[in-house]
Amino acid sequence: MKQPKNKVALSMKQKKISQYPHDPTIHRSVIGILNELPRERTFLIEALHKLQDKLNCLPHRYLAELANEYKLSMTEVFETATFYHHFDVVADDDQTLPEFTVRICDSLTCSLYGAERLLAELRGLSLSSTRILRAPCMGGCDHAPIASVGKNQIFNASTKLITEAVNKKETSPRRVNHIDYNTYLQKGGYKTLLRCLKGSTDRDKIIKTIENSGLRGLGGAGFATGQKWRIVSSFPGPRLMAVNADEGEPGTFKDRYLLETDPHRFLEGVLIGNWVVQAEHCYIYVRDEYPTVYEILDQAIRVLEQTPLLKGATLHLRRGAGAYICGEETAMLESIEGKRGLPRHKPPFAAEVGLFGQPTLINNVETLFWVRDIIENGADWFSERGRNGQKGIRAYSVSGRVRNPGVKITDAGITVRELIDEYCGGLSEGHTFKGYLPGGASGGILPASMDDIPLAFGTLEEYGCLIGSAAIIILSDQDSTSEAAINLMKFFEEESCGQCTPCRSGCEKSVTLMASKNWNKPLLLSLSRTMADASICGLGQAAPNAMLSVLKYFPEDIDEIEG
């Protein structure tokens, strides 16, 4: 959440409603833009998207009419609109923004590949009708640096490619080849789901198969999937399901890859899980930085709606709006309900009191992607895979200083050295292995000398690190780990929802302290303990990990900071 934008919401709370009298002309415009979108709070963010897409911004008076249309207070609408990065709230006397918005990812991997230089070059060009913005990770780390012109993501971005896209007005989502519905059916797709719907198998048998496979939540938490399905099923209905496709962790892009290549395998897993827990509705929450994924899933769901495969299930596709915190499961639920993505206090847990107060099954994209194969091939097919004493299959997002970055689907427990040598073609030309992030921005940083640790749940914690979403970023002798840690802490500072003081102030103070040439180690350690112990959710708890890793494993890099 952008703290400066929040000041807009605060200022709006002080305005009197009489300053925004009903405007029939704007009201008719709002009605026309919303069209048949339901006037329920849960659709508020969808409504804001429609206005933003049409108007290229969100003028105050339009938000006032939107509040009237949804029978909400102006404060509720404004605080929601100003919470998300991708909504541009503007004053009534400044209702125009440049025609084109170019976003340059400045997260770690893109920074390694010249994001700052690209930003400077673009701003020096003074492109007409164009604004240049920094942006957090866009999930294209394997093609760094990445930029977007409107909804058009540009991989391996350069000034030339971006300028050409602007001049040609190429702002639509890029197109990718993927396994469509008919091809998926020809390869045996949806047969397992049909067996479920026809009663050829029972729910408990499927849960036992998933439990025996050892499948876990692969979005970061690692909770046992079969156990979660059993817990949710134990609570009285009506039950719901929510799918977290909001992978915003810097360095993570596995879900994008899976959904852009084999979306129906994922959807079959969704529908099987939905059937097992007897959920009445399933909400798939897709990050707004993945417009191509959104279009693919939207088309796929429309096809499924014309078949018997959705018997007893209703799929809802929801679009995020640029907020990393919504990757936290309860913040995602709040966003689906049309609110700010503020994490909830636990307990109660979402399995018992989740979306709209109902028992809710929440699963990650990759977890559901493996469900069909596990049921068809048996639990052992999955559990017998693995290396170095670990079990299962994982999709590792590998980026940074390697020859062949990308999603590497292999045995869980592989080491970073094995991953680099067997799947990435070695280090990039002219680079020497220095260190690596085993779990994205939250997972800490380890030195190259510790390249033999299995990349799996439970193997990294003793070293102050986490596997999380398995986002592996490789650093070389040409990179500074202290600068990497500052980049990551700035990300957390920007993305903190601001709800709890330890995270909100802790990230801000950490950035200030880390910008100094000589880090105040005692103060940073004290601050990190407070953040870890008192933050509401994992963002604040894990934000200091990279900084702590630098203090522990790379103290020599701290002296390289220019004070």
Q: pLDDT tens-digit profile of 229-244?
A: 999 999 999 999 999 9
Name the amino acid, one letter, at 128.
Answer: S
In Å, the largest CA–CA distance within the chain is 68
According to the model, what pLDDT value does residue 561 have? 53
Residue 270: count of CB within 10 angstroms of its CB: 25
d(CA 457, CA 470): 10
Torsion, Cα of 358, 200, 392, 428 (10° steps): -90
Give me the numbers of helices (H) and strands (E) for the chain, helices first please. Answer: 26, 15
pLDDT at 20 over 90: no
Q: What is the mean pLDDT of residues 443-465?
A: 97
Q: Which residues contact 556 (CB under 8 A, 6 or more apart)?
A: none
Residue 94 pLDDT class (50, 70, 90 cuts): low
According to the model, what pLDDT value does residue 12 have? 41
Residue 10 pLDDT class (50, 70, 90 cuts): very low
Q: What is the mean pLDDT of residues 17-26?
A: 77
According to the model, what pLDDT value does residue 95 have? 64
Q: Which residues contact 69 (CB under 8 A, 6 or more apart)?
A: 27, 30, 31, 34, 39
pLDDT at 226 over 70: yes
Q: What is the mean pLDDT of residues 69-98?
A: 90
Q: What is the mean pLDDT of residues 386-405?
A: 97
Residue 72: count of CB within 10 angstroms of its CB: 17
According to the model, what pLDDT value does residue 364 have? 96
d(CA 148, CA 171): 8
Q: What is the mean pLDDT of residues 359-369?
A: 98
pLDDT at 15 over 60: no
Tokens at 7, concatenated? 């000041």
**Rounded (5°) CA angle 197-198-200:** 110
List b or e across 514-528, with b for residues whose CB sees 16 or more CB atoms inside 10 angstroms: beeeebeeeebeebb
According to the model, what pLDDT value does residue 363 have? 98
According to the model, what pLDDT value does residue 17 have? 39
According to the model, what pLDDT value does residue 14 have? 40
Residue 93 pLDDT class (50, 70, 90 cuts): low
d(CA 308, CA 330): 32
Q: Among 153-157, 327-331, 515-519, which stretch is predicted with the lowest mean pLDDT?
A: 515-519
* CB-side neighbour CA atoms (13 Å) of 47: 32
Q: What is the mean pLDDT of residues 458-470?
A: 96
CA-wise closest residue to 537 among 389, 398, 329, 339: 329
d(CA 146, CA 123): 16
The dihedrals phi and psi of 385, each to the nearest 5 degrees, come to: -80, 160
157: alpha, beta or left, given left = phi > 0 and alpha = psi -120 to 50? Answer: beta
**Beta partners for residue 90, in sequence order:** 59
Q: What is the mean pLDDT of residues 394-414?
A: 98
Q: Report yes or no: 488 and 496 within 8 Å, Cβ to Cβ.
A: no
pLDDT at 4 over 50: no
CA-wise closest residue to 439 among 370, 369, 368, 488: 488
Q: What is the mean pLDDT of residues 183-210?
A: 96
- Give 315-319's long-range contacts (Cβ < 8 A, gap of 24+): 315/267, 315/270, 315/271, 315/282, 315/284, 316/281, 316/282, 316/283, 316/284, 317/284, 317/286, 318/45, 318/46, 318/283, 318/284, 318/285, 318/286, 319/45, 319/46, 319/49, 319/286, 319/288, 319/294
Name the amino acid, one letter, at 470.
Answer: A
Cis peptide before 98 (omega within 30 of 0): no
Q: What is the length of the chain? A: 563
Supply the angle between the helices 501-514 and 521-534 in degrees, to the nearest 10: 160
The chain-wide mean pLDDT, for the chain, equals: 94
According to the model, what pLDDT value does residue 220 have? 85
d(CA 317, CA 451): 40
User: What is the value of pTM for the model shown?
Assistant: 0.95
Residue 563 pLDDT class (50, 70, 90 cuts): very low
pLDDT at 96 over 80: no
Q: What is the mean pLDDT of residues 200-216?
A: 97
Tokens at 539, concatenated? 């963002």
Q: Which residues contact 198 (CB under 8 A, 6 or more apart)?
A: none
pLDDT at 183 over 90: yes
The dihedrals phi and psi of 540, each to the nearest 5 degrees, come to: -70, -30
Q: What percent of the chain has pLDDT over 70?
A: 95
The 10s digit of each residue's pLDDT in 294-306 is: 999 999 999 999 9
Q: Compute CA 229 distance to the chain's CA centroid, rounded to the nearest angstrom.
A: 23
According to the model, what pLDDT value does residue 312 have? 84
The 10s digit of each residue's pLDDT in 482-494 is: 999 999 999 999 9
Q: What is the DSSP letter of 463?
A: G
Distances in Å between the Cα of 398 and the Cα atoms of 263, 423, 488 are 21, 9, 17
Q: Report yes or no: 95 and 23 within 8 Å, Cβ to Cβ.
A: no
d(CA 465, CA 479): 20
Q: What is the mean pLDDT of residues 271-291?
A: 97
